[in-house]
Structure 1
Amino acid sequence: MTLDRGAPAALYDEIGRTYGRTRRPDPRIAAAIRAAVGEVDSVVNVGAGAGAYEPLQTVLAVEPSRVMIDQRPAGAAPVVQGVAEALPLPDRAVDAALAVLTVHHWSDVGAGVAEMRRVARRRAVFFTWWPGRVAEFWLLREYLPAAAETDARHAVPVEQLLRLLGPAARVRSVPVPHDCTDGFGAAYWRRPEAYLDAEVRAGISMLARTEPTALRAGLQRLEDDLRSGAWRRRHADLLAADALDEGYCVVTVDL
């Protein structure tokens, strides 16, 4: 199954069904996002999904997928079904606009960034990744090159975000903890057996967007390497690490 960037609602109606089980927010990543948002009184959460990493100051969440909206917990911020490219807010309506692991699904990244700048008075914040770094992640490099190709087609280069945000934008790396509870692409870097779980893969867009037949042989090699111990011998250095910088980062601009 291959889905294009222009259909975020359709994508998450399909792959978002497991999010409540496999994409639980990690407190350490949440702390990095909170620090980037800063001391503000109001936030719009753009591409809000099921509400992971949503600050308490959120006054509105915007999400295109009804499947994701239906997974938002009781007491979450008010939500509207909509897209980043047309935020339902007046100019300078909130202190900060936040977008977490979502820009790769927008149909027009420039328009979405412009909308975030339009509605925010003080700050725009993005949690995203450097695609080139993720392409070197052992899972993609050694086992699933087809998923790396999928990611390259859909991911938004950080350099593109920086050009759109201007010279005031800044980037801060966010290392991934070895026991990360949010099962995004590289979250299981020290727990390779997790990638053999179809439910885990269903919550990772670069895997869910790749034809299953293109993943089959690589997943079988991974399973064989785990059974034989080859993976652990090859990646012994990872087994002693507590966190790993795999290219995930926070991009922030003050307005």
Structure 2
Amino acid sequence: MNPSANDQVPAVYDRIGHGYRRIRRPDPRLHALIGRALAGARTVVNVGAGTGSYEPTDADVIAVDPSLIMLGQHPGSAKVKARAEALPLRDGAVDAAMAVMTVHHWPDLHRGLRELRRVSRRQAVFTWDPAHRPELWLLDEYLPEIRELEHARFTPLSEIAEALDAHTVVPFPIPHDFTDGFQIAYWRRPECFLDPVIRQASSTFAQLPPSVVEPAIARLRADLRSGAWRRRHAGLFELDAMDYGYRLIVAGERPGPD
């Protein structure tokens, strides 16, 4: 693997990870969806665990992450600094493996997915499909650089599902009041993008230079003040949720009873 690519993910999260839990608060609706996929599992490895969002409360969880800053905010006791491509677990060590909004950061996606299958009997992966339309308005109107960055790092959903030999793919429309502050959360709350603290909790914004981000945010601020943004997107305020291509992929052993 490319050493610089290997170092990139922990470097990003070591930079943006301070105070991460204040913005990235687990949403109970997504938590419930992932919980159903993990039902019956007594032991779980959370790969790319970060601060522990969406982990089941009725299972023993091993948190794996390459960033010590992120692991330092994880509340659990079983925490391991490691990469998805080399999980320090024996074959079939746990009932289930989970990976939430992390596979796009793995330098070797397919090796990481093979590791999930090796160490667990069930896999639940939550990710975004770059082939899905519509995209968030932010990309077309203010920051097309985000599209370039995200399409370079996200793998088509069909490829991930095939690599896992998935049996279930569940859409997750994003609620308008989604509490987990990753980029898509603010599709109906554009003023939130004006807050640098909120932007700092997004790995996408963290990887774009200020010379790109700041003029775009200035244009958004002006459109919000003039009412231009609201006029263009008035229809969004009639919706409680939007499908922007986020999916839960489930593979291996089927979930047991809740």
TM-score band (shorter)? Answer: over 0.9
What is the correspondence of 1:1-255 to structure 2 with a 5 Å cutoff? 4=5, 7-56=8-57, 57-73=59-75, 76-121=76-121, 123-133=122-132, 136-166=135-165, 168-255=166-253
Q: Check the 8 A contact 1:146/1:215 in 2, yes or no.
A: no
Secondary structure of 2:70's aligned partner? helix
Secondary structure of 1:39's aligned partner? coil
Deviations 1:151-176 (A, max 9, x none): 1121222122122112x432111111
Distance in 2 (alpha carbons) for counterparts of 1:153 and 1:15: 21
Deviations 1:120-157 (A, max 9, x none): 02x10101111233772101111110111111121222
Deviating 4+ runs (over 2 angstroms):
3-7, 132-135
Secondary structure of 1:171's aligned partner? strand
Paired residue type of 2:72: D
Q: How many Å apart are 1:244 and its aligned residue? A: 1.1
Distance in 1 (alpha carbons) for counterparts of 2:107 and 2:7: 4
Q: 1:20 to 1:217 in 2, by over 3 A?
A: same
5+ residue gaps in structure 2? 254-258
Distance in 2 (alpha carbons) for counterparts of 1:141 and 1:31: 32
Deviations 1:13-55 (A, max 9, x none): 0122231111010101111111122221111111100111111
Distance in 2 (alpha carbons) for counterparts of 1:190 and 1:64: 33
Instruction: Please tell me the root mean square deviation across aligned C-alpha atoms, in Å.
Output: 1.6
Q: How many residues align?
A: 249
5+ residue gaps in structure 1? none
The aligned counterpart of 2:256 is none
Paired residue type of 1:140: L
Identity of counterpart residues, as a percentage?
Answer: 49
Distance in 2 (alpha carbons) for counterparts of 1:4 and 1:212: 22
Q: 1:110 to 1:244 in 2, by over 3 A?
A: same
Q: 1:4 to 1:201 in 2, by over 3 A?
A: farther
Q: Check the 8 A contact 2:134/2:244 in 1, yes or no.
A: no
